Amino acid sequence: MVQHAGHDHRYLTPPQPGQTRYRVRLALSRLWSDPLSRGGLALLVNTAVTGILGFAYWLIAAHLFSTYAVGVAGALVAAATLFSGIGQLNLSGMLMRFLPTAEDKSRRLVLLTYAYAACVSALLAAVSLAGIRILPLRPSPLHLNLIESAGFVFSVAATAIFTIQDSVLVGLRRAVWVPAENGAFGIAKIVILFILGPARSAFALFAAWMIPLTATIPVISAVLFRRYLPQARKRRSTVLLGRRTALLGRKMRSSIVRFAIGDATGGLFTQAWMYLLPVLVTASLGASVNALYYTSFLFSSTIDQVAVNFASPLTVEGAHTPSEVAALIRSTLRRVFAIILPIVLVLLLICPWLLRAFGDKYVGGAPLLRILLITCLPKAISAVYYAYCRIERTTRKSAFMQAYVCLATLSAVLLVAHPFGLVGVGAAIMAVQASAAVASSLGLRRGCRAYRPRSRHGRHRRPGIPRPDRHPDRVRRPRP
């Protein structure tokens, strides 16, 4: 500590070392102390760890198993992910919004979500398998025997619970557990892959993925129900001081149902245009051109995960401290753009060389990739707006916005794909996302203004400053 001349020894300025290490440690400590930054960075690390370990898994599988086995196992994993995703009905967003305020009913809310997602996902998988066995279709990877079918249905239910556990950890401000959980799962499935490698069958490759996933569920559940959920209950009970807590009764159930319907509907619209767009490009321009589109889409969708990963902690922190929503929105936007802006600028410069790694034929997709990279900026604003709608429990507004994006994007691509090619497809996507970002920014601006304190006459004033007396000399007479 340094003491300045002429000042009291009690007022000491902090040290100002010029070392880069000190500045980095100070910045990291500030980020770690902020729950919003801590949750967002933890989810970003989780995305990177999941992607790297998943790529390593399939790379090793390609050397240990035949091409047919890898293809069938990949289809089984994709089908299990699809059924579990549909069966959840986007309940992850509901947990992140309502779990912070569920109080002593947090355990019941989590258990009901587990049961609902697992049952609906397993039912969808069972019906699909039965339909494939009954209908005279072509040979399908999902044409399994009885034992394999039972294992597949069980794996779908386990995948649904595994995914929801991440949302529970985020809702309890324990997002740092998410990369640890998925990292352990990624390493374990690679180890089991070597153990089951001599089997050489497609279902053995699928089992190497699902066995560690299923084994992770009781471990994380024990941590949640024995440590973190009781802590949340105790903390809420001491704050309420005997006052009756919020029950998972009719009012809360109706709020959750309305929230889940809007959130699930919006999520379905978003998935619809993302998954149908390659089909439209293939139908209009051909499979070879769709290869260029899909490669560019993979790069841009990876950058989109930055905003999505910060939107989840925003929902949680907004539910914890509703009075700080305006500051949380601004902080989230600053952090998201501080990360994606440099990445987008660098990729705009190196995208031709980046695509050349896939082959010389893919370099022709560089103009489309540039357009999609620029489109990541307005999409980040929309992602933050969807999180704000979750905080306000107005998911119907985000559902309308996502429906507009879906219908407008698909319609515009149908109109411009054939005459203008891939550049027209990219321009249509960017135009729709830019218009949605404008509407989202207006909604965020109104939301931030709504959380600013107002004076008696409706004017905004700074918080903590009392309203001045306009007539200090006037004597107020008491009412008779």
pLDDT of residue 161: 93
Residue 183 has pLDDT above 90, yes or no: yes
User: Is residue 87 domain-resident?
Assistant: yes
- For residues 263 and 405, membership in a common domain is answered with yes
- For residues 192 and 337, membership in a common domain is answered with no
Confidence of residue 400 (pLDDT cuts 50, 70, 90): very high
Whether the Cβ atoms of residue 223 and residue 177 lie closer than 8 Å to each other: yes
- For residues 255 and 230, membership in a common domain is answered with no
Domain span at residue 344 reads 249-453
**What is the rounded average pLDDT of the residues 207-219?**
92
**By CB neighbour count within 10 A (0-12 exposed, 13-18 middle, 19+ buried), where does 33 fall?**
exposed
pLDDT in tens, 96-127: 888 888 777 788 889 999 999 999 999 999 99
Confidence of residue 211 (pLDDT cuts 50, 70, 90): very high
pLDDT of residue 447: 82
Residue 294 has pLDDT above 70, yes or no: yes
**What is the rounded average pLDDT of the residues 185-198?**
91
Confidence of residue 199 (pLDDT cuts 50, 70, 90): confident
* Per-residue burial over 178-195, b = 16 or more CB atoms within 10 Å of its CB, e = otherwise: bbebbbbbbebbbebbee
pLDDT of residue 135: 72
Higher pLDDT, 350 or 242: 350
User: Is residue 9 domain-resident?
Assistant: no
Give the largest Cα separation in the chain, rounded.
95
pLDDT of residue 463: 44
User: Is residue 1 domain-resident?
Assistant: no
User: Is residue 201 domain-resident?
Assistant: yes
Residue 27 has pLDDT above 70, yes or no: no
Confidence of residue 23 (pLDDT cuts 50, 70, 90): low
- For residues 425 and 402, membership in a common domain is answered with yes
- For residues 280 and 337, membership in a common domain is answered with yes
**What is the rounded average pLDDT of the residues 196-218?**
89
Residue 173 has pLDDT above 90, yes or no: no
Higher pLDDT, 22 or 475: 22
User: Is residue 463 domain-resident?
Assistant: no
User: Is residue 375 domain-resident?
Assistant: yes
| CA–CA gap between residue 396 and residue 383 (Å, rounded) | 15
Confidence of residue 443 (pLDDT cuts 50, 70, 90): very high
User: Is residue 469 domain-resident?
Assistant: no
Whether the Cβ atoms of residue 71 and residue 144 lie closer than 8 Å to each other: no
Residue 137 has pLDDT above 70, yes or no: no
Residue 455 has pLDDT above 70, yes or no: no
| CA–CA gap between residue 222 and residue 199 (Å, rounded) | 33
Of 133-137, 236-240, 319-323, 411-415, give the lowest mean pLDDT range.
236-240
- For residues 230 and 353, membership in a common domain is answered with no
**Predicted TM-score (pTM) above 0.85:** no
Closest CA to 95 of 193, 153, 29, 165: 165
pLDDT in tens, 372-396: 999 999 999 999 999 999 999 999 9
Alpha-carbon dihedral sign for residues 365, 371, 376, 379: negative
**What is the rounded average pLDDT of the residues 257-267?**
89
pLDDT of residue 380: 95
Average pLDDT over all residues of the chain: 82
- For residues 224 and 343, membership in a common domain is answered with no
Residue 268 has pLDDT above 50, yes or no: yes
pLDDT of residue 179: 93
pLDDT of residue 466: 43
- For residues 255 and 222, membership in a common domain is answered with no
- For residues 323 and 264, membership in a common domain is answered with yes
Closest CA to 391 of 326, 307, 309: 326
User: Is residue 223 domain-resident?
Assistant: yes
- For residues 199 and 299, membership in a common domain is answered with no
- For residues 355 and 418, membership in a common domain is answered with yes
pLDDT in tens, 235-256: 544 444 334 444 456 777 788 8
| CA–CA gap between residue 117 and residue 112 (Å, rounded) | 9
pLDDT in tens, 55-86: 889 888 888 888 888 888 888 888 888 888 88
* Number of domains, the chain: 2
- For residues 187 and 281, membership in a common domain is answered with no
Residue 426 has pLDDT above 50, yes or no: yes
Query: What percent of the chain is modeled with pLDDT above 90?
Result: 37
pLDDT of residue 234: 54
Residue 472 has pLDDT above 70, yes or no: no
